Amino acid sequence: MARPTLLQQVMRCGLCLLLWLGLALATGAQAQGIESIMAPGKLSQSHAKYEDDCKQCHVKLDRKAQDGLCMDCHKPVGADMRGKTGFHGHLEQPLTCKSCHTEHKGRDLKSAEFDQKKFDHSKTDYALKGKHEKAACDKCHVAGKKYREAAQDCNSCHKKDDKHKGALGPKCAECHTESDWKEAKFDHETTKFPLTGKHVDAKCTDCHKDNVYKDTPKNCYACHRKIDDQKGHKGLYGEKCETCHGTKAWKPSSFNHDNDTKFDLRGKHRTTACKDCHSGNLYKEKPKQECYACHKKDDKHKESLGTNCAACHTEKNWKEVAKFDHEKTQFPLAGKHAKVECKECHKSVMYKEAPKECIGCHLKDDKHKANLGKECGDCHNAQDWKNTEGRFKHDRTKFQLRNAHAAPSVKCSACHKDLTSFRNTPLPCLACHKKDDKHETQLGDKCETCHNDKAWKGTSFNHGKSRFPLTGRHIVAECKTCHLTLRYKDAARDCYSCHKKEDKHKLVFGVNCESCHSTRAWTTWTFDHDTRTKYRLESSHAKVACAACHKQAAPAGKDAAPLGTSCVACHRSDDVHSGGFGPRCDQCHQVESWKKVKSRVGQGADK
């Protein structure tokens, strides 16, 4: 039998196909297009509604367009791919959708299933750390919801573990870690109650009852009231425990009666219990400071000698009384006073009428003409009126003499021009040191800000309090590097004034050097063009030197001369079309390479 020719074989196949189509139509099959009939298999249940509409997923003669159609339907995935977020956005590019998701394999196909044990969670926006790495998927991903819809805040999963019942808000990560929920890392220094002394070792529950952390009292008495009631003062001394006690140790008391009150404790007063004098509430009933207030019961004289017990009695021993001695009066006799006859001061037998002030007897000897008042004893002594050495306590004035100011380094006459000008002497340093002011009064009269009284040439200026705190390499720079003269405020605060010679850009990028450079090292610089400008650098643009685009000097006050954002602004010389296709070069050319032209639908591959 003769073998059929090629034409006969084609005609037979075509005839068979027509017969098959006719049979399908004749048997009542649903009306379908030729593409649907020739499909390789049934679509999955989720795509079944598109079984007769192939163009929903396919573009004729263009397989690459299929991914775009997928992302048109699956918009969240498309957004991840474009924004490089989520699992799909972190995949190594380029990948097509069908690389992982197949179709036409029947209604029961689960095209989105994956091996949970091998899934790399670090490719998502939520990397697993600590105990999260061992947690089962269904602990966070609720059934019936997409994996991407899982909450990323702690409280969504750990609400039942919140012993604070929402009082501290939902930001669990501020105290807890992924390694152990019960392990807290809270820094108490960030609160209004930093922990010091024994508070550091105290348990949280000692102050925060029932895990309630907000509105915890900050005063000592709130926590230590029990101690005050059982072993302490029972509320008599008020609630300001810190006045006497410290956090280092509750005992002993740190209260210093001599420094913290107006009543110095001497003699037996020093060993007397507080309650012996302070019998009532300290902050409501302050005891008087006169001896008689406490020693009335000890007064055997029944007030016949007045209430000034100290005239005869001492703090050393109440019962120890010396025979009357002028040393025990308000006017002890000292020096030449001890040799003066009584009648020289006491003009009558009314001894109390005798003047106690020096000026009462020494008015004729006052060379200061009452300028210093009546307290002659502050400077003069009873041994020799003219000898004042060591008597006057300058520390009792508003100007203490220390270091180089102290005698014998400086004489009184250096500041006080004569015997009548001791008062109202100017206190500012500049009053005496004007000739030493090399800053020409530019820094004001607060010389002590930098200079000290040990030596005028020694300085201790804190640059951190100035308008230009020192950081990085500025800390080790010598003052004279920036301050060319002692008129310190004349020094410029902008980088360019000092670093002009380091400007390799020749003012192309302006004078705001700190936009890229830091004080740590001039050669260390960084500028993120994507976040700090409106023009993102992509592909080949990211490798181009700054000077390739920025060639003109920056305008005054600007970081760099403004450039156009259209391609033709830089690539005009590359435009072989002589502007024939307009300034939108990016419609055909790619950022990766100027010579690489984008493909057009229906025109073949890239040229």
CA dihedral (15, 21, 27, 28) in degrees, to 10, reads -160
| Domain positions in the chain | 446-486, 494-563, 566-598
Instruction: Name residue, tokens 């040393």.
Output: 327
Q: 32 pLDDT exceeds 60?
A: no
Q: 135 pLDDT exceeds 70?
A: yes
pLDDT of 10: 61
Instruction: Name residue, tokens 């025979």.
Output: 323
Query: How far out from the chain centre does Cα 543 lie?
Result: 36
Q: 527 pLDDT exceeds 80?
A: yes
d(CA 470, CA 195): 31
Spatial neighbors of 205 by CB under 8 A, at least 6 apart, are 211
pLDDT digits (tens, 9 = 90+) for 539-557: 888 888 888 888 887 777 6
Q: Of 260, 211, 221, 258, nearest to 241 (Cα)? A: 221
pLDDT of 601: 40
pLDDT digits (tens, 9 = 90+) for 427-443: 888 888 888 888 888 88
pLDDT of 31: 42
**What single letter denotes the amino acid at residue 347?**
K
Of residues 565 and 560, the one with the higher pLDDT is 565
pLDDT digits (tens, 9 = 90+) for 64-112: 888 888 888 888 888 888 888 888 888 877 778 888 888 888 888 887 7
Spatial neighbors of 116 by CB under 8 A, at least 6 apart, are 137
pLDDT digits (tens, 9 = 90+) for 167-190: 777 888 878 888 887 777 778 888
Q: Of 132, 87, 93, nearest to 112 (Cα)? A: 87
Mean pLDDT rounded to a whole number for the chain? 80
541 in Cβ contact with 563 (< 8 Å): no
With a pLDDT cut of 70, the percent of the chain lying above it is 88
Spatial neighbors of 97 by CB under 8 A, at least 6 apart, are 66, 67, 70, 71
Spatial neighbors of 505 by CB under 8 A, at least 6 apart, are 546, 547
Q: 420 pLDDT exceeds 70?
A: yes
Report the pLDDT averaged over residues 132-143: 85
Report the pLDDT averaged over residues 566-584: 84
228 in Cβ contact with 234 (< 8 Å): yes
Q: Of 173, 174, 199, nearest to 187 (Cα)? A: 174
Q: 24 pLDDT exceeds 60?
A: no
Q: Of 103, 139, 145, 94, nearest to 121 (Cα)? A: 139
Query: How deeply is 79 buried, as exposed, middle or buried, from its count of CB atoms within 10 A (0-12, 13-18, 19+)?
Result: middle
343 in Cβ contact with 351 (< 8 Å): no
pLDDT of 469: 92
Confidence of residue 602 (pLDDT cuts 50, 70, 90): very low
d(CA 121, CA 603): 41
Spatial neighbors of 429 by CB under 8 A, at least 6 apart, are 445, 446, 447, 448, 451
Cα distances (angstroms) measured from residue 369 to each of 216, 414, 420: 63, 21, 7
Q: Mapped to the 3 state alphabet, what secondary structure does 499-544 carry?
A: HHHHCCCCCCCCCCHHHCECCCCCCCECCCHHHHCCCCCCHHHHHC
Report the pLDDT averaged over residues 352-358: 78
Which neighbouring-strand residues pair with 184?
176
Q: 340 pLDDT exceeds 70?
A: yes
CA dihedral (558, 560, 565, 567) in degrees, to 10, reads 160
The long-range contacts involving 270-278, CB below 8 angstroms and separated by at least 24 positions, are 274/233, 274/237, 275/236, 278/236, 278/237
Spatial neighbors of 596 by CB under 8 A, at least 6 apart, are 589, 590, 606
pLDDT of 207: 83
pLDDT digits (tens, 9 = 90+) for 457-511: 878 888 888 889 989 999 888 888 888 888 888 888 888 888 888 888 888 888 8
pLDDT of 319: 75
Report the pLDDT averaged over residues 400-417: 81
Confidence of residue 348 (pLDDT cuts 50, 70, 90): low
Query: How deeply is 513 buried, as exposed, middle or buried, from its count of CB atoms within 10 A (0-12, 13-18, 19+)?
Result: buried
pLDDT of 607: 36
Tokens encoding 10 = 């084609």
